[in-house]
């Protein structure tokens, strides 16, 4: 990859990752307060910097799930450096770096803003579906008697359920994700079998729900209403795969409205995810 003089790529330092987080806030993406920390502890090489001398001008994440699946996110160039072809170089470097860190023939996913989708298509990605953000003020939910706090669920049971809803196992990642400071989490058990779980995590503003996985709309409703009752009065965002019409109806039931969206795209083939049971993805940034 040929870069102009004085430009270089590298793994991000802590202060650079903080800066990227600030840029994400400025873009209105409302990152989770601890999202980056979880991702960087799980995969210390997940954040890539583009620098001029030692000054950050662009960046993005390329998380590898055990070399079996990758996800690209948080692709941002500093405003002063946009429109000069540098973003394209950074993106191609990140894609190729991630591919080199994955086992052969494994896939990469991403949630890209719609206007950039043609660029990602030129880079080898194909559209799968849209992931739509619904948001609003959390209404007083009825805390359902069917739900169980997540911290009383055996982690191996939760992990096994999680693996049914993500292309590859991500045990250490999800363990850290659901244990972020300030997280609320609930699950539903039916005859001792886990049939759904969801978490709400604190974000720059309010909370995001994600993941929310459930075997049926009723179960998802129980979990969502329980989470909303915990964060009543706060801004809440939920990122729904558009093919799951029940999830959209559920968001509408709680007076959440569509506010943003991304194109879920893949390079290569993933193990099919059961979109009908995905009521919110984990995050736009990490899959």
Ligand X SMILES: CC(C)(COP(=O)(O)OP(=O)(O)OC[C@H]1O[C@@H](n2cnc3c(N)ncnc32)[C@H](O)[C@@H]1OP(=O)(O)O)[C@@H](O)C(=O)NCCC(=O)NCCS
CA–CA separation, 287 vs 284, rounded Å? 6
Phi, psi torsion values for 267, nearest 5 degrees: -105, 110
Nearer to ligand X, 82 or 253 (CB): 82
Q: Extract the tokens encoding 238.
A: 């939920």
What minimum distance in Å lies between the beta carbon of 27 and ligand X? Answer: 5
Strand, helix or coil for residue 196: strand
Residue 279 near residue 210, CB atoms below 8 Å: no
What minimum distance in Å lies between the beta carbon of 128 and ligand X? Answer: 15
Residue closest to ligand X (Cβ): 87
| Alpha-carbon Rg for the chain in angstroms | 19
Task: Write out the residues near ligand X by the rule CB under 6 A.
Answer: 27, 75-77, 82-88, 112-113, 115-116, 119, 122
Residue 133 near residue 257, CB atoms below 8 Å: no
Nearer to ligand X, 14 or 119 (CB): 119
What minimum distance in Å lies between the beta carbon of 60 and ligand X? Answer: 8
What minimum distance in Å lies between the beta carbon of 283 and ligand X? Answer: 13
CA–CA separation, 93 vs 251, rounded Å? 37
What minimum distance in Å lies between the beta carbon of 59 and ligand X? Answer: 9
Burial status of residue 100 (CB atoms within 10 A of its CB: 0-12, 13-18, 19 or more):
exposed
Could you count the other beta carbons within 10 Å of the beta carbon of residue 242? 15
What minimum distance in Å lies between the beta carbon of 91 and ligand X? Answer: 7
Nearer to ligand X, 81 or 155 (CB): 81
Q: Extract the tokens encoding 98.
A: 């991630």
CA–CA separation, 285 vs 61, rounded Å? 8
CA–CA separation, 254 vs 222, rounded Å? 12
CA–CA separation, 131 vs 256, rounded Å? 15
Nearer to ligand X, 89 or 201 (CB): 89
CA–CA separation, 37 vs 277, rounded Å? 28
What minimum distance in Å lies between the beta carbon of 122 and ligand X? Answer: 5
Nearer to ligand X, 54 or 79 (CB): 79
């Amino acid at each position: 990859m040929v870069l102009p003089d004085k430009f270089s790529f590298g793994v991000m330092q802590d202060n650079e990752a903080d800066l990227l987080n600030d840029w994400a806030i400025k873009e209105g993406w409302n990152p989770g307060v601890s999202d980056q920390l979880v991702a960087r502890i799980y995969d210390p090489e997940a954040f890539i910097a583009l620098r001029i001398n030692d000054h950050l001008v662009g960046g993005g994440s390329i998380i590898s799930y055990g070399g079996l699946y990758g996800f690209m996110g948080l692709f941002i160039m500093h405003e002063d450096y946009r429109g000069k072809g540098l973003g394209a170089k950074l993106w191609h470097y990140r894609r190729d770096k991630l591919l080199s860190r994955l086992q052969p023939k494994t896939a990469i996913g991403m949630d890209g803003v719609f206007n950039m989708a043609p660029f990602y298509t030129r880079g080898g990605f194909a559209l799968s579906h849209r992931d739509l953000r619904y948001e609003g003020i959390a209404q007083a939910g009825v805390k359902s008697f069917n739900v169980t706090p997540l911290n009383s669920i055996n982690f191996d049971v939760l992990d096994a359920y999680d693996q049914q809803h993500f292309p590859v196992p991500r045990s250490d990642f999800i363990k850290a994700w659901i244990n972020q400071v300030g997280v609320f989490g609930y699950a539903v058990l039916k005859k001792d079998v886990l049939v759904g779980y969801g978490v709400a995590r604190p974000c720059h503003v309010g909370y995001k729900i994600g993941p929310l996985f459930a075997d049926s709309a009723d179960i998802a409703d129980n979990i969502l209403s329980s989470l909303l009752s915990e964060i009543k009065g706060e801004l809440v965002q939920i990122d729904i795969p558009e093919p799951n019409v029940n999830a959209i109806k559920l968001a509408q039931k709680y007076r959440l409205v569509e506010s943003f969206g991304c194109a879920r795209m893949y390079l290569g083939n993933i193990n099919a995810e059961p979109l009908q049971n995905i009521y919110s993805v984990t995050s736009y940034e990490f899959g």
